[in-house]
Amino acid sequence: MATARSLYVRVGALILFGLALAVGSILFLTSGRIGDGALTFETYLSESVTGLEVGAPVRYRGVRIGQVTEVGLVNAAYRPASASEAIAAFQLVLVRFAVDPGRSTMRDDTGVERAVRNGLRARLSSQGITGVSYIELDFVNSDRFPERDWPWTPSYPVIPSVPSTVAQVQNAAEQVMLRIQQAPLEEILRNVTDLTGALSRQTGQDGDVTRTFREAADTLAALRQAVTDADLAGTMRELRSVADNLNQLTGSEDLRRTLASVSTAAAELRTAMARLPGAISSLEGTVRAARGVTQDTNADLAPILRDLRAVASNLRDTTEMLRRAPGAAIFGAPPPPPNR
């Protein structure tokens, strides 16, 4: 009886565990389900999409807003019409995904087009070390990653893609390796060998570097010997004596009186210099007054000098007349000669 009861308990526990597992699976599978009003978009990736499967999440800055609905090749979805279109389509992977408008700000196609113009791009990302990939939406520099024109008509609005972080690192590594391959390695190795040889010769026994170090050592030895031979104690005593003399000189009474006299003379000189502009102004006024008096005197003397010149001229004429006829001053002028 106890054995049957134990068996029933085990069977019941197993049934309950199975039901719980089924409910959990259903909840897990339907947790990321997108509603009927989802918006479908597509993007084209030029790299490997290993780890990206249908049902993979679509995230915007870490928040799940949709899921991947289709992963395929562009040349299978859009038949190329020419060889150039075939080459362009053959290098791309088509990824279509649905976005729930209730979980994002992309309400319609117009809003998505505006977001794409502002830099909305799709990128392939990986979840840690599990190898599971998903599509990440984010805004980037639209000038660095501009939109492209495709030679086919997309079935859904296109959100341009940007290289993933792994792809960017891989491309950078390939460029570095290409530069290394293009670099003249043999010439670089030859230059390194020549440089090493030159350094070895310079640091050898007869090299310039060794000779320079030897001369520096000799100079230091000579300097050390000069310091040893120098009478530093006597020099310090002389310096101390000079300092004492300077202290005595600056502390003497005569120096203080001399400095006081110099200060007094400087003060008097400063006072005289302050009075000098007034004296100069007075002297200028005196000179202007003297100039005015001189001008007035010249104006008064001018007619007197003219009169004196006239008197001198008359005296000159009178003197000449007396010299010629002395009696004319007494008897008057001689009578005129008679008419014949």
Rounded CA-CA distance 163/124 in Å is 7
Does 111 reside within a domain?
yes
Instruction: Tell me the whole-structure pTM to 2 decimals.
Output: 0.46
Does 219 reside within a domain?
no
Query: For the chain, what is the domain count?
Result: 1
* Alpha carbon 69 to its chain's center: 50
**Given this model, what pLDDT does residue 177 score?**
79
Strand ranges across the sheet with 57-60 = 39-45, 93-99, 63-73, 57-60, 133-139, 120-126
**Given this model, what pLDDT does residue 72 score?**
92
Does 67 reside within a domain?
yes
Does 212 reside within a domain?
no
Does 15 reside within a domain?
no
Could you tell me if 75 and 86 are in contact, meaning their C-beta atoms sit under 8 angstroms apart?
A: yes
Tens of each residue's pLDDT in the chain, 340 residues: 567 667 766 777 788 877 777 666 555 555 545 555 788 999 999 898 888 999 999 999 888 999 999 999 988 888 877 777 777 778 899 999 999 887 777 777 788 888 889 999 999 998 877 778 999 999 999 888 888 888 888 999 999 999 988 777 877 887 787 777 777 777 777 787 777 777 776 666 666 667 777 777 778 877 777 767 666 667 777 777 877 777 776 666 766 777 777 778 777 777 877 777 777 777 777 667 666 655 665 566 566 667 667 766 766 776 666 666 655 555 455 555 555 4
* Beta bridge partners of residue 125, listed in sequence order: 134
Does 58 reside within a domain?
yes
- Token pair, residue 38, equals 């989802």
Does 79 reside within a domain?
yes
**Given this model, what pLDDT does residue 190 score?**
77
Is residue 134 exposed (0-12), middle (13-18) or buried (19+ Cβ within 10 Å)? buried
Rounded CA-CA distance 196/199 in Å is 5
Query: 91 is in which domain, residue-wise?
Result: 32-163
Does 132 reside within a domain?
yes
Rounded CA-CA distance 24/194 in Å is 73
Q: Which residue, 98, 56, 52, is CA-closest to 72?
A: 52
Query: Residue type at 305?
Result: L
C-alpha torsion sign, points 324, 329, 335, 336: positive
